[in-house]
Amino acid sequence: MQTEQIVRTFTEYLQDRGHRRITGSTLLPPPGDPVLFTTSGMHPLTPYLEGRPHPLGRRLVNVQRCLRTTDLEEVGDRTHLTVFEMLGSWSLGDYEGPQSLDWGYGLLTEGFGIDPGRLHATVFGGDEQCGPDTDSLELWQRHGVPVERTVEDNWWSNGPTGPCGPDSEIFLWTGDTPPESTPTGDDRWVEVWNHVMMRHRRLDDGSLVPLPQRNVDTGLGLERLAMLLQGRGSVHECDVFDPWRRLLPPLWPLDEPSQRLVGDHLRSAVVVIGDGVHPSNTGRGYVLRRLVRRVLTVLRQDDPGRTLGDLPDELIRHTLDRFRQDVEPSLVRQVLLDEERRFDRLLQQGRRILGRPRFRGPLGEEDFHYLHETHGLPRELVTSLRER
């Protein structure tokens, strides 16, 4: 099943159950929002989860692009991407968690044809502030799905304060052997769909108060589900990466981890630029700068002559189309090339500075700090320059 069909199956299933499709937002949260990028589908809906009536009603479904830098170091493993699409559904003070999980079970098993014997659920086991989620537990028991109880892993929040709640996650077994162990005990259990019973707000002092309404917020990573339904070994091999895997290796032969990183970061950089961000030394622009520089560092390791000018137009266009961004590929390429030139100047300067006697021996924290603060040389770059 191709990603387009996955999106259709998901949205139609929920539309048949009274949900209205809303348009996904850009990666940029509204002004005044403390986070740099939209990290999950619920993010643009925060005011409605907090009680403001939504013009399209109490049941919503959408596809939202998200960016997670917390996972940057995990990129290259089989399940994490920097920019990804999240399928989401919401009950804004309408139906409760068990109904959402029941539809989730139906959609996975009937809509997507997943064998129920390969599912495992987790539920919130309770802590000193909030009791155990027995409603979700009973729902899973009725379906005969094994359940694991956890505490931290089954509490979802978007930050230290704000809307939050217990969640129930659905995992799919990806091993070649019959399912064994539990989601926390074996990483062949891959999380596919999270249902958050979003009905609390955490205050500055850490206490919880009820939100004005009891919501359900669910999120399902599209590329991850595609990987599972397409029987691929990693998100980097699902159909959205097909053109990347066809065009990049002949251009830049790399080992598998580097190929994953380059594909992920370049695709993410295209989307971030497509949403209007330019590289800079702070905020969103700095995230973009890091993505591009990590790519260049990897590309140049084997061959210093590699340039982003060779990135095929087809990949930029394919990505912009996938994320429904109305931007000219030449503009994206220009931003990437300007950043490459800046990086090249920085490299030259870095080599000069690191050639000074003071930096020839082992470097301490103070040296790294000085090189970054005074000369704009990040630790990663210093380390890679000294390795050559």
Binding site for ligand SER (CB under 6 A): 40-42, 88, 156, 194, 196, 217-219
In the structure encoding, which two tokens stand for residue 260, read together? 């994953």
CB of 218 to ligand SER, least distance (A): 5
Length reported for the chain: 388
Of residues 88 and 329, the one with the C-beta less far from ligand SER: 88
CB of 3 to ligand SER, least distance (A): 18
Cα dist from 202 to 51, 198, 211, whole Å:
15, 11, 10
CB of 149 to ligand SER, least distance (A): 18
CB of 86 to ligand SER, least distance (A): 7
CB of 221 to ligand SER, least distance (A): 8
CB of 176 to ligand SER, least distance (A): 28
d(CA 60, CA 86): 14
Q: State the CB neighbour count (10 A cutoff) for residue 232.
A: 16
CB of 168 to ligand SER, least distance (A): 11
Pairing relationship of beta strands 147-150 and 20-21 according to DSSP bridges: unpaired
Question: Which of left, alpha, beta for 91 (phi over 0: left; psi -120 to 50: alpha)?
Answer: beta
Of residues 140 and 343, the one with the C-beta less far from ligand SER: 140
Of residues 40 and 268, the one with the C-beta less far from ligand SER: 40
Q: Hey, which bits of the chain come out as E strands? A: 20-21, 59-67, 83-91, 119-124, 147-150, 155-157, 162-173, 189-196, 200-202, 208-210, 216-221
Phi, then psi, of 242 in degrees rounded to 5: -55, -50
d(CA 279, CA 332): 12
Of residues 85 and 339, the one with the C-beta less far from ligand SER: 85
Q: Are 299 and 252 in contact (CB under 8 A)?
A: yes
Of residues 26 and 64, the one with the C-beta less far from ligand SER: 64
d(CA 328, CA 334): 10
Q: Tell me the helices (H) and strands (E) count for the chain, helix number first.
A: 12, 11
Of residues 14 and 296, the one with the C-beta less far from ligand SER: 14
Of residues 153 and 367, the one with the C-beta less far from ligand SER: 153
